[in-house]
């Protein structure tokens, strides 16, 4: 273009003008042509990029790292003796986080164990008493037999006394029986009647004792029926109290439920804590995920299981994470806001909504380049395999 004929590049009205002006006009025209060519190449390049890559990928920089953090709480009431960790410390599952004063828990355990021993002895007495009650019941049965014999003997004596009295009364008129003999016979009959009453009362008492013995045996049988001495309800309740006291003692040592980084520590030595008191939070950085907020117009081809590449502002573009889509949110952020937007208010303006897409990351890459909750990410989902 630099060797072109000036007559072809200079306008006719500038042919007789200053040569410098004509040169500037020619240069400007060449620049416009170059600019047009660059724009054309850029448009063709963008079209090729969109056709080959862009239409098969959706991207966003509205993405942030998240994790299912674990809150460490006290499960028993005690004072804090030691806190061997600080914020930002990396811990493994099972590491000691807090030690509570175990004195009260040890006393409670000793008391529960004593109550268990007492319950075991008491229940053993129930089983021993069962044999004794059965023997007692047999003895009461023998008492009834003896009482029946005494009643029969007393009734026989009464019958004999009545016959003697009747004989003397029959010959009293002839004078063969003196008045003293008749009186003695009458007294003998009265004594026999009293003896019968006493014998019958004794028999009734023996029957009552048998009934009481049967009731006591029934109560004792109910206490031990259907279970052994070890599985007796009283023993089981006492053993459960021991287990609970031992568990409270074990809970004076608070350990990490999972591996992660300590955050939001609120535990100080000497602090008295109650069950449920939040002591610290553990962030499991090796199981972190990303919530990417895509525009609703980008989600047409997004499916669970699609591959995702991500970069973090923390490490820059040199570190690339790989993950997969694990799910789409159940609603937009505006829908779950504390005060949702009311589009029927009359001043509605359409705003493009964003839906969170949960992305699970490769654990190996997370171990090599750990992330923290809340860090910004850029996510690129490959939707080329969408139906």
What integer is the mean pLDDT of 120-146?
68
What integer is the mean pLDDT of 326-336?
84
- The answer, yes or no, to whether residue 11 has pLDDT greater than 80, is no
What integer is the mean pLDDT of 156-176?
74
Count of residues in the chain: 387
Confidence of residue 141 (pLDDT cuts 50, 70, 90): low
Lowest mean pLDDT among 7-21, 34-48, 120-134, 312-326: 7-21
pLDDT score, position 164? 76
CA distance 54 to 179: 144
Confidence of residue 358 (pLDDT cuts 50, 70, 90): very high
Strands 307-312 and 289-295: unpaired
- The answer, yes or no, to whether residue 376 has pLDDT greater than 50, is yes
Computed over every residue of the chain, the mean pLDDT equals: 81
CA distance 357 to 292: 5
Contact 100, 78 (CB under 8 A): yes
**Cα-Cα-Cα-Cα dihedral sign, residues 14, 17, 22, 28:** negative
- The answer, yes or no, to whether residue 322 has pLDDT greater than 90, is yes
Lowest mean pLDDT among 66-75, 108-117, 141-150, 372-381: 141-150
Confidence of residue 221 (pLDDT cuts 50, 70, 90): low
pLDDT score, position 55? 65
Of 219 and 281, more confident: 281
From 364, 363, 360, 379, select the one nearest 305 (Cα to Cα).
360
pLDDT score, position 245? 95
């Amino acid at each position: 273009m630099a060797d072109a004929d000036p007559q072809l590049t200079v306008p006719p009205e500038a042919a007789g003008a200053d040569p410098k002006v004509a040169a500037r006009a020619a240069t400007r025209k060449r620049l416009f042509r170059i600019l047009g060519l660059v724009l054309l190449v850029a448009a063709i390049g963008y079209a090729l990029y969109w056709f080959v890559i862009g239409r098969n990928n959706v991207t966003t920089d509205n993405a942030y790292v998240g994790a299912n953090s674990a809150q460490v709480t006290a499960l028993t009431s005690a004072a804090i003796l030691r806190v061997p960790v600080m914020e930002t410390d990396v811990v493994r599952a099972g590491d000691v986080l807090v030690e509570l004063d175990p004195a009260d828990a040890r006393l409670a355990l000793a008391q529960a164990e004593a109550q268990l021993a007492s319950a075991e002895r008491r229940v053993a007495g129930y089983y021993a008493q069962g044999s004794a009650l059965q023997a007692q019941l047999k003895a009461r049965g023998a008492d009834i037999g003896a009482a029946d014999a005494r009643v029969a003997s007393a009734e026989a004596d009464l019958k004999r006394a009545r016959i003697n009295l009747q004989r003397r009364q029959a010959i009293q008129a002839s004078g063969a029986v003196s008045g003293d003999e008749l009186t003695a016979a009458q007294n003998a009959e009265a004594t026999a009647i009293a003896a019968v009453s006493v014998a019958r009362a004794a028999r009734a008492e023996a029957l009552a004792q048998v009934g009481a013995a049967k009731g006591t045996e029934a109560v004792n049988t109910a206490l031990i029926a259907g279970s052994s001495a070890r599985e007796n309800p009283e023993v089981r309740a006492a053993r459960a109290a021991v287990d609970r006291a031992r568990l409270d003692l074990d809970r004076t040592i608070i350990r990490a439920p999972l591996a992660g980084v300590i955050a939001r520590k609120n535990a100080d030595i000497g602090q008295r804590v109650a069950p449920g008191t939040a002591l610290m939070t553990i962030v499991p950085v090796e199981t972190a995920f990303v919530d990417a907020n895509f525009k609703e117009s980008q989600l047409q081809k997004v499916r669970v299981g699609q591959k995702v590449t991500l970069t973090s502002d923390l490490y820059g573009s040199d570190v690339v994470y790989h993950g997969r889509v694990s799910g789409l949110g159940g609603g937009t952020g505006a829908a779950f806001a504390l005060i949702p937007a009311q589009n029927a208010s009359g001043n509605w303006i359409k705003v493009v909504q964003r839906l969170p897409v949960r992305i699970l990351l490769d654990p190996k890459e997370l171990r090599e380049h750990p992330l923290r909750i809340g860090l910004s990410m850029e996510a690129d989902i490959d939707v080329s395999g969408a139906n």
